[in-house]
Chains A and B, each alone.
Chain A
Amino acid sequence: MSKIMTVDILSSIKGAEPSESVNKLFDVIKNAQTINNSTTNTINAVSLNDLREDVIIESSTTEKEIIKENFPNEKNGFLVVTKVIEE
């Protein structure tokens, strides 16, 4: 079942609409000639041999304090984070 989503829903921005200035840019791409459409874009790939260690790095005390400051509400010693899931 397909459901058409408008750009304001996709972008999570109330009242957002496509822009004529931006659409002009996209028209150029639609009409551009490419050698082929299959992308081989591996420019930023990281080698499997070069992955960083999968370890937990403990945050400093100062870092933890500032994170708490960015969430000023506290209840029973816990940070209070605003609701993130509804349905």
Chain B
Amino acid sequence: MESQIQQIHQQLVDKKITCTALIQERLDLLKANTNNTVNQLLEDIALNLAKKVDAKINNGDTIGLLEGIPFGIKDVYMVQGTKTTASSHLLKNYKSAYTATAIQKLLDAGAIPLVKENCDSFGHGSSSENTIFGAVKNAINPNLVGGGSSGGSAVNVAKNYTVFSIGGDTGGSIRQPAGYNNIYGLKPTYGRISRYGLMAYASSTDCVGPLAKSIEDIRIVLNTMSGKDVKDQTTYASADINTENLTNINGIKTVGYFKNFIESDAIDAQVKADFLTTLDKIKAKGIAVKALDFFESNTLVSTYYTLAMAETASNLSRLDGTNYGERVESGSLKETYAVTRSQNFSEETKRRIVGGNQVLSQGFSDKIYLKGLALRDQISSNFEKDFNTVDIILSPVTPSTPPKVGDSLKDPHAMYLSDAYTVGFSLGQLPTFTIPQGTATGLQISAAKNNDELVLKFANFLKDTI
């Protein structure tokens, strides 16, 4: 199978390139880039690691598959000794004291971190414009947004600055930028990869996942990062996915799609036409296609944001200039906290914290927050029922093509609604995979919980089918 990781590994082993030259080349590309993808370059760390890989190769030692492979890290992951800013004013000088489990596993495998990548502040956004480092510009058309919140990660992969990048997906933050930049991006089943060391946005849907240019690279990185971790008690043990298992479509007889996604007035006519053409091609291969009923987009988006805002209000309450962030002194202590948070959080982050506290407050929690939890249960039950009749659910990633830089900030409500096709799968905690095929912003492949192998398998099938 096509794999950039395998290809570079072979070049290193055959001594066609040195690791130092490879890393220097990618660092130079990142430095010169005008898409605003970089929050911090990890130049010294990367070059030191590259020298060690070269020494091993010159010594005749065997190197692992990921050894010497350059990768990027969304700037919400702790990497010991590096700044972790979450693209925010509040944490612009915060230095990580430890390393996130998922990143440590990649480091242990020998992968080389190049860059902490630009993103929406604390993951709050769908365009990577809510950042102190400048709006991330799309890899294909720099007048358009890079998508979000893992926009810097997606653009770095699309531009070949990194071989793969690690994003974070709470409501679509890996899948949507992957779609906007025509690459692969996986949100695994919730709990497959440890969240320890990922700055918490909405803990009940936060997922760690890879972005890359091939299915095989996604598989390699997913296997490396997966597994139970005592530091994140929502993790579970999972078996490695073998590449051989991805080359057939055994177990995939019926593909479902949500009727209301496609019949919605909000969907772009071309995205709709392309999606329906894809369904026809799948049918032509002898796979049954079934239309499914699902919740209205408005309900999905509102349920997701209600719960995500409640969780982020709670998670970010620790950011008050005491343990985290720089304090802005004011009259009284309470005033100091309020001014610190007011001056150092972005407008979008404040909007979400305030929204979260609204729904958690007395008088509103029953009518909104608890109702949101009940709706999430219904959404999960709906998925369980659907996966009794279909093996895969296919959907567009977004209703329309990426907006121009600047447009999303003007209309937050429109930005929330643009997440209509991604948030439901987050609430269901399902494995969902964006592939750069089928529509202008790709397709999403979802399967039942813990069935990450099936989404990769179907992606491999679609690669040769559409």
Give A residues with C-beta under 8 Å from B.
Answer: 5, 7-8, 10-22, 24-26, 28-30, 32, 34-41, 43-44, 46, 50-53, 59, 62-63, 66-67, 69-70, 81-87
Contacts and interface: CB of A to CB of B under 8 A. Distances in A.
Main secondary structure of the interface of A (DSSP, over half): loop
Main secondary structure of the interface of B (DSSP, over half): helix
Interface in B362-408: 364, 366-368, 370-378, 380
> Looking at A10, A18, A19, A26, which has the most chain B CB atoms within 10 Å of its CB?
A26
B3 interface: no
18 contacts: A11-B313, A13-B342, A14-B342, A17-B354, A21-B416, A22-B352, A22-B358, A22-B412, A25-B306, A26-B302, A26-B368, A29-B303, A34-B371, A39-B374, A39-B377, A41-B373, A66-B95, A83-B333
A39 B377 CA distance: 7
A33 to B, nearest CB: 9
Contacts, number: 163
Contacts of A12: 317, 320, 334, 337-338, 341
Nearest to A25: B302
Contacts of A5: 361
Closest 5 A/B residue pairs (Cβ): A86-B333, A28-B302, A21-B413, A14-B342, A14-B338
B6 interface: no
B204 A43 contact: yes
B332 interface: yes
A83 to B, nearest CB: 6
B306 A62 contact: no
Nearest to B96: A66
Contact residue range for chain B?
Answer: 35 or more
B144 to A, nearest CB: 22
Interface in B234-288: 234
Interface in B79-124: 80-81, 94-98
B334 A86 contact: yes
Contacts of A35: 374, 378
B95 A29 contact: no
Given A10-B358, A41-B377, 15 more contacts: A7-B361, A8-B338, A11-B350, A18-B354, A19-B355, A21-B351, A21-B412, A24-B413, A34-B378, A41-B376, A43-B429, A59-B98, A62-B81, A63-B80, A85-B333
